[in-house]
Amino acid sequence: MTTRTSTFVLFVSFLTAIGLLVGPACGGDDNEVCVIGAVDACEAGLVCEEVVGGMPACFAPIELRGRVFDASTDVGIADATIVALDVNGAARSDVARSGIDGTYSLPIAVPRAEDGTFNSESIKLRVDADGYQTFPTAPRSALPIEVSESAAVDIEGVRVIMTATTDVALIGLPAGGGGGRIEGFIMHPDPSGVLVVADQGGNAISTAISDRGGNFILFNVPAGTTQVEGYRAGINIAPATVEASGVLDTVSLVGTSDGLGTVTGSVNIVNAPGGLLTSVILVVDSTFDETAIRGEAPAGLRAEMVSSAFSIEGVPPGRYAVLAAFENDQLVRDPDESIAGTDIVRIDVAGDLDIADSFKVTEALAVVSPGADTIEVITGDPTFVWADDSSEDGYELRVYDSFGEIVHENTMIPGVSGSSDVSYTWTGAALEVGLVYQFRAWSFREPPSGTRTFISATEDLRGVFAVE
């Protein structure tokens, strides 16, 4: 073999190895090398996917399929946006749109073995639509969807995952709660999973999550001056002002890696079994609901497995509410407002910041029913059951609707003795079919000549139920 021929062979081998020289019919039984994202990288019906420990190759696509529908009428919702997120809130897909009947197909890129099989992982869905509340909005939570070989079925050459958790019911906004759209994208090397907030007058009137390409759609934006902001760990996004028309507007956001900070602090776990750990999250302040004590936390702005000191890195500039023990971990923020460390803390981040006061966290009152672990469907008047607090004089109970409004409360439920649980029935409850509700209970002490002080409470994300 001549030197020229040898050099040519080596050059062809190099092109093949880096995926620049493949035939148009890539993806047959040989799973030939392809280039991810390239036009016509694979033959029709196949997609170019990452191969663990090897070069990208063509395989049958993996799709989530489901339906988006109105929670009250069961009618399909057209033109809803659906994006898949991983356990840390990062986007795992581009955005799909539902059809006229509410059905959708959402392609998911999943690393494969050389034979096309793939390891299991869990993802969750975020769904938005004109005239509807975002799913999930606390206290509703998105149940994990198992992306696995056992969950996938072959339908006309596509590996399809279609379960009860891929169908999503949306709750309609109150009258007058709709508006226009702001569509946009984020310019940054890693633009996915950003919480995008449309702020009018200091209040978040719409939010969205950017997909893998940085694209997003903000629904239900009324006309008016709107500041569009973006939040995610590791990226600092300059806000942009839009004069929203109430119909359709566009915007682009620019992100950098400069100006990020680290938030540090500590948690003090009291009156709780040893070994319990909690989490601390940063919630964008404009999304925070004072009544329901909840809001939206950007991806990555979370410290987990916390027993005392915590640190959250890569925090972009902005104003946040800091919530300890917000997630389900058998703990709750100590509700006793007469002691330090129990108030909601707000911080303005413009670099590194240390929170001086320790957060007081205590053992939660366990929810028995409804909604101990997941949303529960009930009929008739609801009976709320939770674990007794042995040192209480009484309880307060409130029921919230999907929008954080109190629809029922009783602040004088007597304490119990001789029973491990407390039970309270709301007689004559006026609950709307298709809506989601949450009950929360607080235990208190009230000496004859003293001030009522709270001891503990049920957890922030339990006690969720719906009515049929």
What pLDDT score was predicted for residue 31? 61
pLDDT in tens, 407-465: 999 999 999 988 999 999 998 888 988 788 999 999 999 988 788 999 999 999 899 99
pLDDT in tens, 126-144: 999 999 999 988 888 888 8
Asked if pLDDT for residue 172 goes beyond 90, the answer is yes
Asked if pLDDT for residue 1 goes beyond 80, the answer is no
Is the model more confident about 27 or about 57?
Answer: 57
The Cα 465–Cα 401 span in angstroms is 10
What pLDDT score was predicted for residue 341? 67
What pLDDT score was predicted for residue 315? 98
The Cα 91–Cα 96 span in angstroms is 12
Asked if pLDDT for residue 269 goes beyond 70, the answer is yes
pLDDT in tens, 195-234: 999 999 999 999 999 998 999 999 999 999 999 999 999 9
Q: H-type helices in 348-433, by residue range?
A: none
What pLDDT score was predicted for residue 16? 40
| The two structure tokens encoding residue 71 | 């929670």
The pTM of the whole model exceeds 0.85:
no
Asked if pLDDT for residue 95 goes beyond 60, the answer is yes
- Rg over alpha carbons for the chain, rounded to the nearest Å, is 25
Asked if pLDDT for residue 24 goes beyond 70, the answer is no
Asked if pLDDT for residue 123 goes beyond 50, the answer is yes
Q: How confident is the model at residue 390 (pLDDT cuts 50, 70, 90)?
A: confident
Q: Are strands 353-354 and 318-324 parallel, antiparallel or unpaired?
A: unpaired
CA–CA distances in Å: residue 38 to residues 11, 20, 45, 96: 21, 10, 15, 20
What pLDDT score was predicted for residue 337? 75
Half-sphere CA count of 43, side-chain side, radius 13 A: 11
Please give the domain boundaries of the chain with CATH numbers for all domains: 3-59 (no CATH), 63-170 (2.60.40.1120), 180-256 (2.60.40.10), 261-363 (2.60.40.1120), 367-467 (2.60.40.4070)
Average pLDDT on 63-67 reads 97
Asked if pLDDT for residue 28 goes beyond 80, the answer is no
Q: How confident is the model at residue 380 (pLDDT cuts 50, 70, 90)?
A: confident
Proportion of the chain above pLDDT 90, given as a percent: 68
The Cα 48–Cα 112 span in angstroms is 10
